[in-house]
Amino acid sequence: MVQNPIPQKNDDTKTKLGDIYHYYVVLSYCLDLKENETLLVEKYGDISIESADESKNIEVKRHQGEHTLSDRHIDLWKTLRNWVKYHHNMRDFKKMILYTTSSFGEESQLCSWNSVKAYERLRILTEIGLEKKKTEEVFRPIFEAIFNHDLETILTIFEKVEIYTDQTDIVDIEKKIMSNSFFKSVNKGDRKPFIDSLMGHILTIPVEPPHSWEISCEYFESLACEIRNRFTSSSGGLRLPFDIPDTPPDTESFKSRRFVNEIREIKYELKIPSAISNYWRAQQAIFRSSLDNPTFNVDLNEFQRDIKDSLVEFKSTFQDICDELDPGDIVLKSKRLYDKAMEMPVNDYHSIKPNRPYFQRGIIHKVVEERGFSWNVVKK
């Protein structure tokens, strides 16, 4: 009989579930963005929405199972403290929202919060704080940090605060997102992978410089529509440019490139002109295609990684049959490896659709140029 393992001290699964929940809330708010609005993640708190009409700052709190937001619970008090402390960053927000899966307790003094004005909110919190309790190591410093600020600042913040309790947890928020009208054009069976793909792209936004996590309404719509096209049968995908000239204006500048030297090393000089042409055309296509297609660069990185994996497999096959003591056989097998790579089937790849021979061959040379692949079958 298998016994349940003892939980490790570094098992952080529940914390990570909180992060995942946070990202679902981000996606939920993205779906509600209006024209010219921008959503910011982790800049002024968990989520902020910059808008001429509906600017919001949102703190997201998730608890496993049923949970009560008591009158002294730190979720509320720490959030209020941060908003008051950074009040100079909060001026432009019209609403400041505590978004929580918790519920108010039956006797909570906070139940009426959203229906009363700033002075009444001040009275409620002051009354909660005036009661002295035996264990206040956490609560009392937070309470004092809030009320050490001037009254005008406190009231300005309290007036904007709204508490959204009883919010749906991970499974239910995912169902709520899938029921959004935006997903109706996608088959039900494809909605979960569509959302997963969309979420993945959102999470990688801050990876590139300047490492800001900002999502405008226009960017999100472009991204979401681009990904949705992968899950609808009517999609033709991205069409690579057809009007790129066959050769660059100046071929000399390419002759010292690594991908050209690799061809020269295996004594296959007659392939250099076509290699330069394909490499240059692919680079031009990348530049032009990535301008208006947010998912293209992500797909391109995956495509290059998969291409390199295929090249490594091909190379392994030729290494097994090559006589490493025979220079002539090394050159012969290296040439055959090159030819096999150029003959790879040209298949569509996500937004690179329809793929084209010049583009795939150009990507192969790009992998040699940038990712360390060598045509020499014995070169380590």
pLDDT at 203 over 50: yes
pLDDT at 380 over 80: no
Residue predicted with more confidence, 262 or 65 = 262
Instruction: Taking residues 210-235, report their average pLDDT.
Output: 79
- The pair phi, psi for residue 161, each rounded to 5°, is -80, 135
pLDDT at 73 over 60: yes
Q: Where are the beta strands (DSSP E) in the chain?
A: 38-41, 47-50, 56-61, 68-69, 95-100, 103-104, 161-164, 214-216
Contact 344, 303 (CB under 8 A): no
Residue predicted with more confidence, 333 or 285 = 333
Contact 108, 71 (CB under 8 A): yes
pLDDT digits (tens, 9 = 90+) for 282-331: 998 888 777 656 677 778 888 999 999 999 999 999 999 999 999 999 99
Instruction: Taking residues 341-355, report their average pLDDT.
Output: 84
Interacting residues of 173 by C-beta distance below 8 A, sequence separation 6+: 21, 24, 25, 28, 167
Contact 97, 59 (CB under 8 A): yes
pLDDT, residue 97, reads 97
For residue 24, count other CB atoms closer than 10 A to its CB: 23
Pairing status of strand 38-41 against strand 214-216: antiparallel
pLDDT digits (tens, 9 = 90+) for 108-128: 999 999 999 999 999 999 999
pLDDT, residue 292, reads 57
Q: What one-character-per-residue DSSP string does 219-245 give?
A: HHHHHHHHHHGGGSTT---BPPPS---
Kindly indicate the confidence band of residue 235, based on its pLDDT and cuts at 50, 70 and 90: very low
Instruction: Taking residues 222-238, report their average pLDDT.
Output: 67
pLDDT digits (tens, 9 = 90+) for 134-193: 888 999 999 999 999 999 999 999 999 999 999 988 888 888 888 888 887 777 777 888
Cα distance between residue 122 and residue 90, in whole Å = 18
Go through 98-115 and write b for each residue having 16 or more CB atoms within 10 A of its CB, e for each that does not. Answer: bbbbbebeeebebeebee
pLDDT, residue 6, reads 60
pLDDT, residue 291, reads 65
- % of the chain surpassing 70 pLDDT: 91
DSSP one-letter code for 165: -
Kindly indicate the confidence band of residue 231, based on its pLDDT and cuts at 50, 70 and 90: low
Kindly indicate the confidence band of residue 22, based on its pLDDT and cuts at 50, 70 and 90: very high
pLDDT, residue 301, reads 87
Cα distance between residue 202 and residue 262, in whole Å = 38
First-last CA distance in the chain: 50
pLDDT, residue 3, reads 55
Contact 122, 155 (CB under 8 A): yes
pLDDT digits (tens, 9 = 90+) for 35-52: 999 999 999 999 999 999
User: What amino acid is encoded at 241 in this protein?
Assistant: P
Kindly indicate the confidence band of residue 89, based on its pLDDT and cuts at 50, 70 and 90: very high
pLDDT, residue 10, reads 47
Instruction: Taking residues 16-41, report their average pLDDT.
Output: 92
pLDDT, residue 293, reads 65
pLDDT at 11 over 50: no
Residue predicted with more confidence, 5 or 149 = 149
